[in-house]
Structure 1
């Protein structure tokens, strides 16, 4: 856990407290089902007493038999209701936690996201949160039953025979005591196993992403051996957790069996007359009542022990989820206000105002880029020129709210002439140099920019991006399936598809990062003319090394010695 974060147990308590009221039903159900064991055992013992000892016909006990059957059905219904309720609450809690983590993920800054391993992120969001399920659905209800049901059964037996009650009272605490001792080792083993799972997920995802490069470099077999070694480590950690679970269950079963056997021996010796006057002389009904309740007094504790690994797994998962929560909580971008969509922009006023900007280096040490002051206007295009690594991409990312500032502010001008601080999704769109196309059809990739766009609008956007010709030549046109990252297309084709998404948006400010890096000169000129036409009534900022592209823009900005100047 982070120094400022709660302990794993406190974190789990806060997690479950989100649905405390809804959880009460799932906690009360096993307690109520356990309490109903008392009349059920008494009626069952009464039936045996009447038939075996008193010699009465079983037909005379029909009412008692029906009552026992009714209690069995009632207990089963209560248990089923509690389980369904716990499952529903667990799903709601997991969904809420995932939604909050996704919200933080989408509000995290670009450096924070680039420093994160996608495999570990996906495992934390899916597997680690799923590990909390057993804590809510099984451990919490069992904990309530283990705390109350044995005590209720001990009190029920006390008026019948004090010795049996004393045996139960002395033996039942041994199980929680041993559980606490085992729990320390189980939690540590679970944490090691989950950390190994995280590392393997990130390792495997990285190798899948770079499998083509590994094959070209002849490293495929070496990496296969490393994956095998990592898998063996995960298997070893998992088996260690299972060994602890099976060993603890065996020892707990021994204690429970010992307690039940002790009660059975005591009652049996008493009936045989070996205990003399020390035996209370209970009837068959009373003795059978005690014997029926004895294993049931241990059952909630045995069930809690069986589900104790859920608590250990949840505590280990809580550490990883809290680590992810704290990691994504750093450098959060403010959420955009709901009134930020399509506000009026006046051409005679700057749409963006940059004041005393300082962009930090990656890691936060030192300043990457300074912008003493800059105003960007509607109907103007700006080319940002500078050496590689000078901060062009970082500047664009800060203009869309993806990168934190160490100093200064960026104001968005709208109908409020005073302006306000820029937030993400504030009518500003960025087309990055590393165009991303998810696995799916070409239409799916374009619909990321405009989910409701028709096929006609998609073709118009492709025409403007000079991509319609090669898309028509594909076997299925817009419905052509692409691999992850646009696998199956050339770099220039991927870039043009990404640029086509621009023409499906309606921003105030357009930011382009090296839009011509993968285009030939003729295609570059055609695409840029279409972009400049599209950006009439908008503000365009282009980061580029291409002097010919920069000459097409109405203004040029230069980065030299870490300072942006007009």
Structure 2
């Protein structure tokens, strides 16, 4: 079973809490170290209490000289140092386990999202997906760094310390044994409400992320219609809702802490009263009359330590509630069914990639072109009714062929591209690469109407496709895309920073930069969705000339185009109407 398949199965079959625990398997060693250091610290606490009590008893009761107490002082200093080391090691192990697990979760989630593709993610807002990858995954850190180790320690350490108190005094041990279970009881009662509030908070942050991203992307349109003030008010209202939910979570968390502090304070006070009355001789039953300063002081020091692990557990219980809310959002994405060709394979699609050859002079990849076939393919969409995307499409595209597809809007052109890329699965029929491989298996490069360029330099945008590419290879790709002179004229050349969506470049230059990036990817199949849409004639002509250089027989090209000049640029022209292929002619 592949990692993606196993992850998909787990996310479908288990609750968020069980899913969280299942991810902890990846850092068992770090958890063992964290718990082990906590247990060693508990043993040192007992040694610390006994040493302090012995020193006090020796100084006040037995009147021993200072030189006889020096070994005890040295031992006490060593205990302090060792406890500091244990605290550091425990925190470091917890942080490492959280980092390891959250990195693995983010990597799996990213792979799952990439396998789903944009078509299957249309039901999710991009802000919601980004929130899951960033905020929701980060919300898991406290669960693994603090909550899970502390849950074990909060069970073992109090019982161990109470057992030590029992040895010193039975009644004091009974008082602590009766009081300690009240803490988890109240935590469970209050924690159920905290968990529900945290889930609402995580849902709220997903909504506000999507809401803010929508308004940010549509800022130009909002300005045109003079709706910026209303949009700002909407964002403010969403932020206020998130603030109110966050304060609600904090209110419940503080209530939990207050209840725990009250229980522990009352319990410690009862033990202190019992010890005090016993030392003063007011109690003449049980072991009280025989209780000395050494035992009494040791018990008083250990009593708060019995509740300390429970206090920490209560503090980190909020991390659990937050993680449960985040896991619910993450598992919702992971539960989205993957394409059958991904689930069926034990290795990622890259296993199908043929070894790439590179041009010895430029270093540019020289892929082997692939054939593409659609065998009686039908796709149906359900939008208020049943409408056909494609109907019984029979189409064979030869390796290295440049095909241009045209037709009215809604005819099924983009659906065809999505099928070729593996973003969609047909309801009937089959799509194959080279007659046997699933779509997308041999590597696909996609260039849309508005190619996405990230905030970063020209070089960084290019190396997304080829991280190890040399400088000469990057310049060769720019030459192919007729963009080298433009980049050389920039203030910092290839290091010139670009804004989001290619801000700083014209539409045609952004399209050509995307083509250069597709060239560097070395994909044998290039899919283009109206790359000249919205461009002026000169820019469109430059893009088409760049495409002519790419159509060198080393890659198969399928392009959707409405523009007449773009349609004439293909070796083969297809027309699709109402989901059917109505015309197939060669130029």
Instruction: Specify if TM > 0.5.
Output: yes
Kindly state the Cα deviation for residue 93 of structure 1 after the two structures are TM-superposed.
0.6
Does the CA contact (< 8 Å) of 1:486 and 1:494 recur in 2? yes
Kindly state the Cα deviation for residue 498 of structure 1 after the two structures are TM-superposed.
2.6
After alignment, is 288-297 or 492-501 more displaced? Answer: 492-501
Q: 1:156 to 1:508 in 2, by over 3 A?
A: closer
In the alignment, does 2:326 pair up with 1:322?
Answer: no
In the alignment, does 2:312 pair up with 1:303?
Answer: yes
In the alignment, does 2:113 pair up with 1:105?
Answer: yes
> CA–CA distance in 2 between the matches of 1:422 and 1:563?
22
After alignment, is 218-227 or 439-448 more displaced? Answer: 439-448
Kindly state the Cα deviation for residue 265 of structure 1 after the two structures are TM-superposed.
0.8
Query: 336, 354, 367: which one pairs with 1:341?
Result: 354
TM-score using structure 2 length? 0.87
> CA–CA distance in 2 between the matches of 1:237 and 1:172?
31
> CA–CA distance in 1 between the matches of 2:245 and 2:531?
48
Kindly state the Cα deviation for residue 178 of structure 1 after the two structures are TM-superposed.
0.7
Within-5 A mapping of 1:109-508 = 109-278=117-286, 279-327=288-336, 329-331=337-339, 334=342, 335-342=348-355, 351-361=371-381, 366-413=387-434, 419-424=435-440, 426-453=442-469, 458=474, 461-468=477-484, 471=487, 474-504=490-520, 506-508=522-524
> CA–CA distance in 2 between the matches of 1:508 and 1:541?
11
Query: 56, 75, 82: which one pairs with 2:64?
Result: 56
In the alignment, does 2:559 pair up with 1:542?
Answer: yes
> CA–CA distance in 1 between the matches of 2:259 and 2:370?
75
Within-5 A mapping of 1:503-522 = 503-504=519-520, 506-521=522-537
> CA–CA distance in 1 between the matches of 2:133 and 2:332?
12
Q: 1:332 to 1:204 in 2, by over 3 A?
A: farther
Kindly state the Cα deviation for residue 3 of structure 1 after the two structures are TM-superposed.
9.6
Gap runs ≥5 in structure 2: 1-7, 343-347, 358-368
Kindly state the Cα deviation for residue 390 of structure 1 after the two structures are TM-superposed.
0.8
Kindly state the Cα deviation for residue 259 of structure 1 after the two structures are TM-superposed.
0.9
Query: 26, 31, 51: which one pairs with 1:18?
Result: 26
Q: 1:257 to 1:118 in 2, by over 3 A?
A: same
Number of corresponding residues: 556
Does the CA contact (< 8 Å) of 1:441 and 1:481 recur in 2? yes
Per-residue CA distance 1:87-144 (angstroms, 9 max, x = gap): 1111111111111111112111222234322222222212211121111121122222
Q: 1:292 to 1:351 in 2, by over 3 A?
A: same
Q: 1:342 to 1:366 in 2, by over 3 A?
A: farther
Q: 1:126 to 1:163 in 2, by over 3 A?
A: same
Q: 1:533 to 1:270 in 2, by over 3 A?
A: closer
TM-score using structure 1 length? 0.90
